[in-house]
Amino acid sequence: MDYSVLGSNILKNIGGENNVQDLIHCATRLRFTLKNHSLANKEEVEELDGVITVVESGGQFQVVIGNNVGYVFDAIMAMTGLGTATQSNTEENQDKGNLFDRFVDMISGIFSPILGLLAGSGVLKGLLALGVSLGMNAKDGTYIILNAAADSMFYFLPIILAVSAARKFKANQYIAIALAGSLVYPAIVTAYTEGTKLTFLGIPVILSQYSSTVIPAILAIWVMSKLQHFFEAKFHESVRNLLTPFLCLVIMVPLTLLVVGPVSTYASGLLASCYLWIYNVSPLISGAVMGAGWQIFVIFGLHWGFVPVMLNNISAFHRDTLGAMVGPAVAAQTGAALGVFFKTHKTKMKGLSLSAFISGLFGITEPAVYGVNLKLKRPFIIGIISGGIGGAIAGASGAAALAVATRSILTIPVYMGHGFLGYVVGYFGAMLLALTLTLIFGVEEQDSDKENISEETTLIKKDTLLSPVSGQVKPLSTVNDPTFSSGAMGAGFSVDPSEDAIYAPADAEVTMLFPTKHAIGLRTDSGAEILIHIGIDTVKLNGEGFAALVKTGDHVKRGEKLIEFDRKKIRDQGFDSTVVVVVTNTDSYLDILNQHENEDVETGKEVLSLMI
């Protein structure tokens, strides 16, 4: 796959680079913060080859890519100036969503960049815990060095969070690092551990343990960002770079230790107490609710609200029961995907479900959820039920994570300790239950269509598409638009039209009609997903010269007129009038053959053969 082409097509369909305020990515998603959401075409992005789905949640336009998200992110950053955005445009471009959306956007923006490091450190801590239980000497140099590698992430968490928080709040990252560093400065840490009383200008300082904490650093850097922007607006450029860092540190370090730190420490304790109260009411019910609801939270982006709770639990209690309760939810969706692999008769779904199962074993469930289980509905529901049962087992056993980590087979050692057996039973039990129930109840008939293929004979069927317009048929590679000519959208053909109307190439349902009427999406009765695009860049005509005769949801017969357009007006405006026909679900077919390449055809002439 050409990740540059995919990245370019995504940008094109979300309003371009100028409509992007911010872009980050997590393990599977590109997370765009857009200036104007109305400019984004969700349906068009979802149709791109390489995109699993699109989720709009928490004020973000989230494009689910899967395991290759890092490559697409790098391609987008390489072709744009998004990585060098200035701080000065923050306020005027800031998304004015509701308070909850802004909170979710803030949390995901701060924690997404460090999730990989959190997971890796958590795995190493779990393996070291396993090693000690098997007789590894905790005073040995090997253990000490590896423990330093695993624990430094958590000990210096305020400093690490400072980087992503500064980026999110558009503050100077280096000032933020210095500010967060003061929270874990050796003299301050020693004063706390030895009970030494400190004062600042005669004011008593309430010392606390800030290593591994989350809220103090984030709150301090948010306040600092406001102060920094104020100073930058007031100072002349000749002294701005000197006085702004100086005053930010002189004001914010004492203010953090005197006010922000104690207040946020109290808030952290309150958050921990509230969670502990809910958990103590009934660990079993808590586990069932979290296990069943976790993947639903993930779909809507609500799971980010629990990340600070998990980190706070580790800081306050040195163990996190919440992470243990949601592990079975991940395992259940993974098991359901494996069940689909064994149950489905469709070659494409077999490949997709097996790939999703493997990703799920390593804690990445988006391919399983969006690519398999949600599409088939029943496996997703089975995953929810199984996750709830597994979560209840983990919750009732008192299982807990010793570090924040993703839920995967690699991170199982992170849950060693009290309740470890319960976690293992809950995790693998949920996976096995989801697998079994999927095998028993199967998938919906429309999704597991019996293809009547015998073991001895492979039957190849042929479906056909007619030309939707008269003119000269040409290969897609000749189209003056890389979106189509690269094949990224799928196989198909183009026509240099000799008439001003588009007709249905098959019996089909109208699945999408662009507001500008220059493109229409169809799903044929046999399952082919077709995009007919009239002209190149004709979206810029804003519908001028186009008239739709059908609407989304209509069922049309082959040869029925769909759209009228004015070739002369399109060409007079300087646009290419080429009509492009693409089979966007090309992967569903063994082969797609163009029967009349570089020939003149009449409307209704058979052009494409789709080999099933």
Catalytic residues: 26
Q: Which residue from 199, 103, 215, 130 is spatially nearest to 416, judged by alpha carbons? A: 130
**CA end-to-end distance (rounded Å), the chain:** 23
Q: What is the DSSP letter of 401?
A: B
Task: Report the alpha-carbon distance of residue 78 to residue 70 in Å, rounded.
Answer: 12
* Residue 25 backbone phi and psi in degrees, to 5: -145, 150
Other CB atoms closer than 10 Å to residue 202's CB: what's the count? Answer: 5
SS3 call for 113: helix
SS (H, E, C) 84-110: HCCCCCHHHHCCCCCHHHHHHHHHHHH
CB under 8 Å to 288, separation ≥6 — which residues?
Answer: 388, 389, 391, 392, 395
Q: Which of 287, 295, 284 is nearest to 381 (CA)?
A: 295
Structure-token match 């699945």, residue found: 511
Phi, psi of 523 (to 5 degrees): -120, 110
**Whole-angstrom distance, CA of residue 336 vs CA of residue 354:** 11
Helices and strands (H and E) in the chain: how many = 23, 20
Q: Judge whether 384 and 390 are in contact, CB under 8 Å.
A: no
Q: What is the DSSP letter of 117?
A: H
Strand partners, 496: 472
* Integer CA distances (angstroms), 82 to 78, 347, 470, 501, in order: 9, 40, 44, 41
User: 436 is written with which tokens?
Assistant: 């079994």
State the Cα–Cα distance between residues 477 and 486, nearest whole angstrom: 7
Q: How far is CA 467 from CA 348, 482, 497, 544, 585, in A?
A: 27, 22, 10, 24, 18
Q: With left for phi above 0 and alpha for psi between -120 and 50, is residue 146 left, alpha or beta?
A: alpha
